Structure 1
Amino acid sequence: MIPGELQSAVGDIELNVGMPTVSVKVENHGDRPIQIGSHYHFYEVNDALHFDRDATLGFRLNIAAGTATRFEPGQSRTVELVSFGGTQTIYGFQGKVMGSVAAFKQTNGLNKDVER
């Protein structure tokens, strides 16, 4: 083995197996490219991205850690999101949730079922 070398098992690596997912169509209505990192709470991304925001509460991009997805101005595409794990407690980003996703949904009247 060479120092710093990575060795992985043969075959595909499956990410986020068994986690709830949702697909949403996203359109960049801004005049600048927007890049979203793998663990950014999608509900709180740049307001120039237009999509069903309520459906993305508690979700992030379903891509490998440390990677990102870029939306060019005027670009539209469908992305797959995966639910945050654990206690679904989210702090930071744009500061819209700042606590439990379940409590945020209840406080903001978002408890209706969303088709996933």
Structure 2
Amino acid sequence: MSGVKASNEKSELIPGEIQCAAADIELNPGRPLISVAVANLGDRPIQVGSHYHFYEVNESLDFKREATLGYRLNIAAGTAIRFEPGQIRTVELVSFGGTMSIYGFQGKVMGPLDAELPLTGTNGIEAEK
């Protein structure tokens, strides 16, 4: 059979080819993890992406919000978790890395998390601590 190589032969890189590691890849090794029970109290499905600051997700999701400050879903990059109306599920969260500076999202946190943060709402009004 032409074009077929034995698994022990080294092949040349093919454009667009993805070469995966032989072993499983561990996501976020050594990073702090927490588990949080989340309930969707709304009447619409809510999807949360892998790198969205969980503290700032849709207000229809009910959970211990303060505990999630500085955390995101512990899932592969580019993926998401969907919360159906009335659904309760437990998710695993991982702490953000790097400088721990979070900007954007809903604007509730705008800066480094290691400093004493002024938490602000989207209109710049002080939020409850």
For structure 1, list consecutive stretches of 5 or more residues without a partner in the other structure.
Answer: 111-116
CA deviations 1:3-40 (Å, max 9, x no partner) are: 21101111211010000011000000000000000000
Aligned residues: 110
Give yes or no for the alignment of 1:62 onto 2:62.
no
User: TM-score scaled by structure 1?
Assistant: 0.88
Residue among 67, 74, 97 paired with 2:109:
97
Q: 1:105, CA displacement in angstroms?
A: 7.4
Q: Which protein is bigger by CA-based radius of gyration? A: 2
| SS of alignment partner, residue 104 of structure 1 | coil
CA deviations 1:43-75 (Å, max 9, x no partner) are: 000000000000000000000000000000001
Q: 1:100, CA displacement in angstroms?
A: 1.5
Q: 1:2, CA displacement in angstroms?
A: 2.9
Give yes or no for the alignment of 1:41 onto 2:53.
yes
Give 2:4's aligned residue.
none
Residue among 82, 88, 96 paired with 2:94:
82
Structure 1 residue ranges (4+ consecutive) displaced by more than 4 angstroms after TM superposition: none
CA separation in 2, counterparts of 1:50 and 1:15? Answer: 26
For structure 2, list consecutive stretches of 5 or more residues without a partner in the other structure.
Answer: 1-12, 120-126
CA separation in 1, counterparts of 2:61 and 2:111? Answer: 23
Residue among 71, 83, 98 paired with 1:71:
83
Q: Which has the higher helix share?
A: 1
- Among the aligned pairs, what percent are the same residue? 70
